[in-house]
Structure 1
Amino acid sequence: MNLAAWLARAGRSRADAVALARGSSPIASYRDFAGRSARLAGSLLTHYGLARGDRVAIVAKNGPHYLEALYAVWWAGLVAVPVNVKLHSAEIGWILENCGARLALVSSGMEADVAAYAPEGLRDVVTLGGPQFWSLVAGDPAPLAEAAPDDLAWLFYTSGTTGRPKGAMLSHRNLVAMSLAYLTDVDPVAEGDTLLHAAPMSHGSGLYAMAHVMRFGINAVAESGGFEADEVLEIVSRSRGVSMFTAPTMVRRLTECPMEAMTENIRTIVWGGAPMHIADTRRAIDRFGPRFAQIYGQGETPMTGTVLSKADIADRDHPRWEARLASAGLVSSVVEMRIDGAEAAHGETGEILVRGDTVMLGYWDNPDASAEALRGGWLHTGDVGSFDADGYLTLLDRSKDVIISGGTNIYPREVEEVLLTHPGVREVSVIGRPDAEWGESIVACYAGDAEPAELDALCLEHIARFKRPKDYLQLPELPKNNYGKILKTELRAMDQRRVRRGG
């Protein structure tokens, strides 16, 4: 089925219901939302002559017209390519060229970035909400295009921390299964509930919009178009049944924000993209109550892998509550998961493998990478983990981040959890440093006012001596990407420069 069928249904059956909002203020009904998307779809086909399967890039910040553009692309039978607006213009240009984009729909202020490296096949750059956009929206509506389950819907470009990003090909089947998993495992949306897009709609937050359209919910964007903790809490205080997708760093900022909020208006705060350390989870629950869920997934199996549910996070009386807080939860309802090479016995550590209806078709125009990632019929995630006896996954690290010292695997997260119990540590990331004798030595990079000697004593008290950092790098802040993930590659480079200087 075509994902846009959910919007078409809402436009008929809930025509007057609020569909889109700016902050807590309604700006479009489902009649408006569906009508604009259908008419924009018509113009994409007739005005630009786009054909089924053509790619349309959406290079836009969070805004009221983002979802109208996204659903117009699907309504017309085209493929959406949402692009991270914080990329350099050359990186944006590379993605547009790689996917063969025929058109770019952009937010105001992004026109020059797209035009600077626009590929030859790009026919136009249209500003969302601009005069040309409204002209296109005034055209005749297109009929809803048919879509086979494996027709391409969304090209999800990875962050590309090593080399060029790869375009994970997500089908209509993938995204339908993902939406059903969200409603089943994470957050059962009621009609009129609100999804507040605090994180970029080009990634996780936008993916969760589909379940809210299916359930006749409201998709809201902040006035700022980004994430400001006080603005988010103000919107929460004036809205109903609010959920949002966040990165762990965003949860920390919400927890630390002094502004009061009507927390009973929060339905669910989902975090993903990186594990949340136990100390941060405890502080967040103390501030907001049992309103949190964690998901583990990748762009290659969008937003689905495992879920640590609100019920699990809230269950303080469970004898293994703290161990479960440190886990990534239970396997999602729509996938299978196993540890590569492991037998049925729990506790074995290895690469996490996934298969199911949410797993991508492959990588765009990259058959070798597709074959490697999907070998044996399983998605090889590159993440390392293990299952406990109850089926909860502990996510240790990316396989490339495991430190091998003296022939022994050391998982950075285990060391980080100990260091974060010190009140003088705001954030921490443990990396490996090349060592002629041991292969790698352990370095703890942290932000805060704790003294290295204090941290050393803490580690000696709680973990084996061989896991103790051999050096500490104190920084004002740890470097992060646009989604709040700490950049270990950058930390390694900083550490190597420090070693060369003899510091």
Structure 2
Amino acid sequence: MAGGPPALPYRGFSILARCAFAGADLVLGEGFDAQKILSRLAAERITHVSLTPTMLAQLAALGSPPPKLRHALVGGASLSPRLAREAADLGWPVQPTYGMTETCSQLATRSCLPEGWRGGRMGRPLPGVEIGLTEDGRPKARGPIVMNGYANPTLASGDGLRDGWFVASDFAEISPSGELNILGRADDVIVTGGKKVLPSVVEDLLADCPGIGHYAVMGQPDPLWGAIVAVLYDGPIPPDDLLAWRRGEAAAAFRPRAAHRIEPFPLLANGKIDRLALRKRAFGDETQTGAVGKQDFAADDR
């Protein structure tokens, strides 16, 4: 089942292709209305559904899934451990996925959600997919699901590939057993005081924070440190309380120094966070008065 407006002709194309190859019936939805989607899942005895984390959150807020649903593939954005666990406890068969358009939307899928699952831990790659890491720690993949190359005037294959490998714009680790752990987007890395901070590490610390809804971690420009770690969020928790949450458990460079409450939180039509709009609202002229907290620190606190 696919949601979201048909703004682009290829939106959800991998879902169409998977169903065609499997000989499965496909149910399409116009837009995304959680109550209507939940009703259709039950009425049409749907067994598989593809969701973004935002869609999953809206469905889980309505309760448990229909008993016929066996797979809820969740991708398109970072899935927080808190949301994954809350949905799984309600009976949603949560299966975190990782992939991109260039790899038919999937490279790896966690077939079940183990206890203590942490965001980014995607398990082993799909059958027939070979993965590796570049020298700077970016995941690369090759196999039958990888594109032949980007469209170009001469229709030459291989455009955008390196010796047949597609390199993603993320940082990752591969365990000795071959499991893929996504650390975060390479272009989201925050350089603060000369130290590199992956937002996903900070977001893991916030996963269980009470009173927080949507959230993202970004680098806020700072004249002294170059950037400081900032949390952009919605929810009732005051910014100063958010900054104090689990503060002692994080290394100094990873401690959030600023928090901005952004309401309404900007989302794209597919449920992903609109990071460009979010950054503009937080660090431009539109940040809400009275919704900002900031912690000062000395050089020896780094």
- TM bucket normalised to smaller: 0.7 to 0.9
One-letter amino acid of the structure 1 residue matched with residue 117 of structure 2? E
Q: 1:334 maps to what in 2?
A: 128
1:337–1:247: structure 2 CA closer, same or farther, 3 Å change rule?
A: same
Within the candidate set 266, 277, 281, 1:490 is matched to: 277
Counting only pairs closer than 5 Å after superposition, residues 4-403 of structure 1 correspond to structure 2 as 196-199=1-4, 202-203=9-10, 205-222=12-29, 225-258=30-63, 263-289=66-92, 291-310=93-112, 313=113, 315-316=114-115, 321-323=116-118, 326-341=120-135, 350-365=137-152, 373-403=160-190
Residue type matched to 1:267 in 2? R
Q: Is the 8 A contact 1:199 1:245 kept in 2?
A: no
User: Once the 2 structures are TM-superposed, how far is the Cα of residue 467 of structure 1 from its aligned partner?
Assistant: 0.8
TM-score by length of 2: 0.85
Q: Which runs of 5+ in 1 are unaligned?
A: 1-195, 342-348
For the 8 Å contact 1:200–1:206, the answer to whether it is kept is no
Using the alignment, how far apart are the partners of 1:481 and 1:501 within structure 2?
21
Question: How many angstroms apart in 2 are the aligned matches of 1:408 and 1:466?
Answer: 7
Q: Cα gap change, 1:478/1:373 in structure 2, threshold over 3 Å: closer, same or farther?
A: farther
Q: Which has the larger radius of gyration?
A: 1
- CA distance in 1 between partners of 2:286 and 2:46 (Å): 51
**Shift in Å at residue 283 of structure 1?**
0.5
Note the residue ranges of structure 2 that are not aligned, 5 or more in a row: 293-302
Structure 1 counterpart of 2:243: 456
Contact 1:199–1:246, Cα closer than 8 Å, also in 2: no
Q: Match for 1:479 among 261, 266, 269? A: 266
- Whether the 8 Å CA contact 2:240–2:259 is kept in 1: the answer is no
Distance 1:493 1:471, change over 3 A: same
Distance of aligned partners of 1:305 and 1:216 in 2 relative to their CA distance in 1, 3 Å threshold: closer
Q: In the TM superposition, what whole-angstrom CA distance separates every residue of 1:68-98 from its partner, at most 9, and x where no partner exists?
A: xxxxxxxxxxxxxxxxxxxxxxxxxxxxxxx
Per the TM alignment, residue 498 of structure 1 is displaced from its structure 2 partner at its CA by 4.0
| Alpha carbons 2:280, 2:286 under 8 Å: kept | no
Identity of aligned residues (%): 26
2:76 and 2:272 in contact (8 A); partners too = yes
Give, in whole Å, the separation in 1 of the partners of 2:283 and 2:28. 41
Return the TM-score normalized by structure 1.
0.53
Greater fraction of residues in helix:
1
Could you tell me which residue of structure 2 aligns to residue 168 of structure 1? none
For the 8 Å contact 1:330–1:391, the answer to whether it is kept is yes
CA distance in 2, matches of 1:207, 1:500: 38
RMSD: 2.7
- Alpha-carbon distance, 1:329 to partner: 2.1
Shift of 1:372: 7.1
Q: Distance in 2 between matches of 1:389 and 1:431?
A: 31
Offset of residue 204 of structure 1: 6.0
SS in 2 for 1:328: strand
8 Å contact 2:57–2:83 — kept in the other structure? yes
Deviations 1:132-186 (A, max 9, x none): xxxxxxxxxxxxxxxxxxxxxxxxxxxxxxxxxxxxxxxxxxxxxxxxxxxxxxx
The alpha-carbon deviation at position 415 of structure 1 amounts to 0.9
